[in-house]
Chain A
Amino acid sequence: MVPESNLPKQMVSLRGVSKSYGDKNVFSNIDLDVAAGEVTAIIGPSGAGKSTLLRCINLLELPDEGQITIGDKTIKAGSTATNKEGEELRRKAGMVFQHFNLFPHMNVLRNVSFAQERVLKRSRKDAEERSRLLLDRVGLADFADAYPARCSGGQQQRIAIARALAMDPEVMLFDEPTSALDPEVGLEVLAVMRELADEGMTMIVVTHETNFARDVSDNLIVMADGKIIEQGDPGQILSDPEHERTKLFLRAVLGR
């Protein structure tokens, strides 16, 4: 009998999560677990519901059924979860978007510091110190005074990663972080993500980058038609998938 305390702590847990838009059911009854320090990659054809699922984790989309747990905080769908509880949950997760979504009217330093000051109530001095540290970590220390519009896509995405990290999240969610970048530029972003993973950050990444999935992630989830059709060791699934749909999808992705 393994005592409860010896089981790996689940950083993120989804139970029975379903989401529909009107009549269209995006996915139903999804269960998902991500242990602390684990990197989970989610791949699959478009429209499979991958992004929507990711966005349910930090309640950017509100699931119709099920419950979401991050760390020690659980929210049940359709419960009397107040806005405030949703905000608390969101604080635990950092999100990086496909289109970066940096704030164009603020310079880079302010982009990274803004939420620290407003949400975490850090002083301007502390926030900026932390911001500079993180910008340095993603290789963009000199860009603090620049405006996002002057930065390349890859730079903007790295700034976005710094901005999310500044909130000291327990888990980082990546929604197709390199899909809007050309392949070479995508590499600089993937490098940063790789480092993050090596440092032990819990990460859930929706991506088309199968190399990243194979080399960096601990767990691979294949989603299609609103269901998780395969799940497990990335190397195994990518080289020898069981499900027919996975085979079909991988043929298109890997055989380019």
Chain B
Amino acid sequence: MTLLITVAAVSIGVVLGVPLVVGLRAKNFLVRLVSRGLVDLIRGIPAIVWLFIIYFGVSIGAFRFDSTMAAIVGLGLISAAYFAEIYRGGISAVDMGQWEAGNALGVNRWTTFAQIVGPQAFRVSVPSMTSYAISLLKDSSIASTIGVTEIVFFTTQDARSNDGGLTVYILAAAIYLALSVPLALLARRLDASLRKKVSR
């Protein structure tokens, strides 16, 4: 469940972060303002509060989120906001010359962004993105507060019924470690292979 939430939220974030960053960089002042407002709003409120708002607050007609969906949507939105900022940094890290070369060749702004600058910005962003994803793996434990049956949920349940043993928390820690460390290893491998292509 922990993995499910993390993967789902990151996926949402990776995808939704793109329209957000496009908005942040838009020529139109209003679009920029709205995007900036959204990102700051989402990042400005703690995840736990967002989850409560989405889980308890959203009832449109007969529609209500179940706890897992609420967690995924909430963490997904938060991820999107963070990824938008990561992308923004990545884009500005790409040398101006790349934009200029694209323009000089007559390539329109959108294609230059999508096919020339974008891929390079993405490559630069990968370390920050994997770092965030690994953090999210741990912070998904927040979802236990709205009743999602993930690692910490079971751990606290167990601890309560077995009169608060340290063992069960250590077990939880071990499970998290077992998930994060290989992930971190994979992340470093990914970064290395992406770099190999473009470095001397």
By a beta-carbon cutoff of 8 Å, the part of chain A in contact with chain B is: 58, 60, 83, 87, 90-91, 93-95, 97, 99, 101-105, 114-115, 118-119, 147, 149-150, 163-164, 167
Contacts and interface: CB of A to CB of B under 8 A. Distances in A.
A94 B199 CA distance: 27
B105 A119 contact: yes
Contacts, number: 64
A187 to B, nearest CB: 23
B138 interface: no
Contact-residue bracket for chain B? 20 to 34
A103 B115 CA distance: 10
Contact of B103 (A90, A102, A164): A90
Given A90-B106, A103-B116, A119-B106, 10 more contacts: A87-B106, A91-B106, A97-B100, A97-B104, A101-B95, A101-B98, A101-B100, A114-B105, A115-B105, A164-B104
B32 interface: no
Contact of B104 (A95, A102, A150): A95
B107 A118 contact: yes
Interface in B35-85: none
30 contacts: A58-B104, A83-B108, A87-B106, A90-B103, A91-B106, A93-B104, A94-B104, A94-B105, A97-B97, A97-B100, A97-B101, A99-B97, A101-B100, A103-B101, A103-B116, A104-B120, A104-B198, A105-B197, A105-B198, A115-B107, A118-B111, A118-B115, A119-B106, A119-B107, A149-B200, A150-B200, A163-B105, A164-B104, A164-B105, A167-B105
A114 B101 CA distance: 12
Nearest to A163: B105
